[in-house]
Amino acid sequence: MHFEESYPILKTLNPEELTKSFGSPLYVYHAETIKRQYERLTNAFKGVDLKIKYACKANTNLEVMKYVRSLGAGLDVVSIEEAMIGLKAGYKAGEILFTPNSVSFEEIKKAVELGLVINIDNISILEQFGHEYENRVPCCIRLNPHIFAGGNSHIQTGHIDSKFGISIHQLRHVTRIVSTCKIRVNGLHIHTGSEILDSSVFIQVAELMFEAARSFPELEFIDFGSGFKVAYKEGDYTTDIEELANQFVSLFNGFCKEYGRKLQLWFEPGKFLVSEAGVLLVKVNTVKTSMATVFAGVDSGQNHLIRPMFYDAYHHIINLSNPSGKQRIYTVVGYICETDTFGWDRKLSEVREGDILAILNAGAYGYSMSNNYNSRLRPAEVLIENGQPRLVRRRETLDDLLRTQEV
């Protein structure tokens, strides 16, 4: 299958109609792709008590979150604000895992008051939690396995220099705090980062987690985070979910038998669920030829999709307005007054001013990482469900930018 054929959203797009109705630039999401990804996970891991916690930092649009909830998922949040949005989207507090880092204990207390599942990744916070709550409130503990999972170093969180999690080598310290403060640890959590290139990393992490779990007799779940790799371009490596599940389910069930009771297996996919479901539609403002480069300048920029500049991430780009045009080489750039490049030296069907380009894999960490640099406005968002597009976030206005300054 050709790379672009794996994106059903492209078959539902009418770019001219969408941009005429909702403006440009425009984020567009495809509900059925989210469902496909969710069901792929749940079908693969049928042999265990699986709970999916959607990592909503990938995309916090209320309607997207509601849709993911309708599929049966819980929620993973990293801030009290995300938790509040999750509650507004209809998630119950007990369905929400709160996994912050570098936050004050006051934020932890707010999460307890809301009734969230608390996940602690810091020894100092763990001590404070124990002194405050003892065994009255359970918690999960996030461990750092000191494993570099490969791929883009910007998005790996389980290596030795990571700020995330309590070192696996500090386990003895952790168990002493837990024992002294009578903390009821009901879960263990680990997350090695995004875009894990080698599925054997999950198996390696599982063995570490099972060893650590033997120190906690009251566990109800083990959360292995996510990191499942999706394709960003032709021939890209992806995580073979089915092959991973075949190995993982057997290992997990074997450990549960040894542990003495069945535990829940949690994963918290974000990008895996929503990345391929989204595209960013942009209009070509200018075609500019320099001494060395042909630039296609569009009506968007790193303020709307920062991943290419922030992570050096690749996003496939298609000219929807001239799909059968002659192939030429362009560098696609934005309208922000900085180096602002979506893609260098891309083969695109001949680009003309006014054409609509689609930037793929924009469903995750697109709008959620957007900003108002250069006082530019954020775009609208549209969700396509059963072939019908509907506005799920209006475009910003200048009044939105000024509202918090009118004191």
Strand 317-319 and strand 26-30: the pairing is unpaired
Is 84 within 8 Å of 98 (Cβ atoms)? no
Which structure tokens are listed for 185?
């640890």
CA distance 179 to 184: 9
Q: Which of 56, 139, 256, 337 is catalytic?
A: 337
Q: Check if 337 is active-site.
A: yes
Strand 294-298 and strand 278-289: the pairing is antiparallel
Radius of gyration of the chain (CA): 22
Q: What are phi and psi of 392, to 5 degrees?
A: -120, -5
Is 396 within 8 Å of 21 (Cβ atoms)? no
- Residues in contact with 102: Cβ distance below 8 Å, sequence separation at least 6, in sequence order: 122, 163
CA distance 177 to 141: 12
CA distance 138 to 25: 45
Angle at the Cα of 204 (from 200 to 205), degrees rounded to 5?
A: 115
Identify which of 165, 158, 233 has the alpha carbon closest to the alpha carbon of residue 198: 158
CA distance 96 to 93: 5
CA distance 398 to 237: 42
- Residues in contact with 311: Cβ distance below 8 Å, sequence separation at least 6, in sequence order: 152, 154, 155
Q: Which residues pair with 96 in a beta bridge?
A: 75
Q: Which residues pair with 388 in a beta bridge?
A: 385
Strand 166-167 and strand 139-144: the pairing is parallel
CA distance 310 to 235: 23
CB-count burial class (<10 Å; 0-12, 13-18, 19+) for 332: buried
- Residues in contact with 7: Cβ distance below 8 Å, sequence separation at least 6, in sequence order: 33, 276, 279, 360
Is 330 within 8 Å of 348 (Cβ atoms)? yes
45, amino acid identity: F
- Annotated catalytic residues are 337
